[in-house]
Amino acid sequence: MSFREKGAWISLLSMAGIYGVYFWSVIKAGPQAGGFHFGKLLGTIIVLVIVQVVLNVAVAIYAPSEAKAPPDERDKLIELRAMRVAYAGLATGIAFACFFGAFNPPIIFNTNSLLFILVTAEIMRCACQIIQYRRGA
Amino acid sequence: MGTIRNEIRRLRFEHGEMTQQQLAEKIRVTRQTVNAIEQGKYSPSLEAAFRIAAVFGEPLESVFHYSNEE
């Protein structure tokens, strides 16, 4: 498994796990919880950054030459394809959010649904990268 | 759509059993990319294809073959 594929796995699993906990807590609190869960979100982001930095450093220590090497042409192509898929997901999600936003849902729904769309698009990007690396290109 | 086949595996063997990693370092790509090219899963850029041919001292058409058949 290449260094960049490992990076995609780290991003995918850490985001799915950590944001999963965040969104689960938001759903459990319900729309009556009031306000945007800023403290909870800040904590989530800090944990995510720490987990990703630690895991990426660990992978880089294990394969330092791969970590130092710039992405090659195949890595760049895979990244571009994954970005295209993620953009389609992001645009679709935003269109849905705009539609449902017209029904005046609580602000907590709007902010968290936009965050959910962003996280989903990022997870799609990582998943698409992993699929392409697994297939060979 | 056509397919691109290549002779990289044979050429590596004929050049002192060069490893995929050694070839990868010479053409400045990852070992996984060399493996994907060798297996026909990834078609390299023209520049990378010329670099591979240059490593083996062969013309491009001796390393890569294009076929219109499915």
Q: Which helix (H) or strand (E) holds B4?
A: strand B3-6
Residue A46: the pLDDT is 96
ipTM of predicted assembly, 2 dp: 0.83
Residue B63: the pLDDT is 94
- Residue B44, SS3 per DSSP: coil
Residues A15, A123 contacting (CB under 8 angstroms): yes
Instruction: List the single best residue of B32, B35, B39, B42 to mutate versus A (max A Cβ within 10 A).
Output: B32
Tell whether B36 is within 8 A of chain A (Cβ): yes
Mean pLDDT value of segment B16-31: 92
Residues A75, A8 contacting (CB under 8 angstroms): no
- Domain of A79 in residue numbering reads as 3-135
Residues B20, A115 contacting (CB under 8 angstroms): no
Instruction: Express as a percent the part of chain B with pLDDT over 70.
Output: 96
Residue A33: the pLDDT is 61
**Tens digit of each residue's pLDDT (9 = 90 or more) over A91-101:** 999 999 888 88
Tell whether A81 is within 8 A of chain B (Cβ): no
Confidence of residue A45 (pLDDT cuts 50, 70, 90): very high
How many domains is chain A partitioned into structurally? 1
Residue A109: the pLDDT is 72
Contact list, A3 vs chain B (CB under 8 Å): 30
Residue A2: the pLDDT is 85
Weakest mean pLDDT among A1-5, A128-132, B24-28: A1-5
β pairing state of B64-67 and B3-6: antiparallel
Does residue B9 or residue A28 have the better pLDDT? B9
A3 → chain B, closest CA residue: B30
Q: Where are the domains of chain B?
A: 19-58
Q: What is the 3-state secondary structure (H, E, C) of chain A?
A: CCHHHHHHHHHHHHHHHHHHHHHHHHHHHCHHHCCCCHHHHHHHHHHHHHHHHHHHHHHHHHCHHHHHCCCCHHHHHHHHHHHHHHHHHHHHHHHHHHHHHCCCCCHHHHHHHHHHHHHHHHHHHHHHHHHHHHHCC
Does residue A109 or residue B57 have the better pLDDT? B57
Residue A130: the pLDDT is 96
Residue A100: the pLDDT is 85
Tell whether A137 is within 8 A of chain B (Cβ): yes
Instruction: Express as a percent the part of chain A with pLDDT over 90.
Output: 59
CA separation for the pair A9, A3 (Å, rounded):
10
Average pLDDT over chain A, rounded to an integer: 89
Instruction: Give the predicted TM-score (pTM) of the model.
Output: 0.83
Decide if pLDDT at B70 tops 60.
no
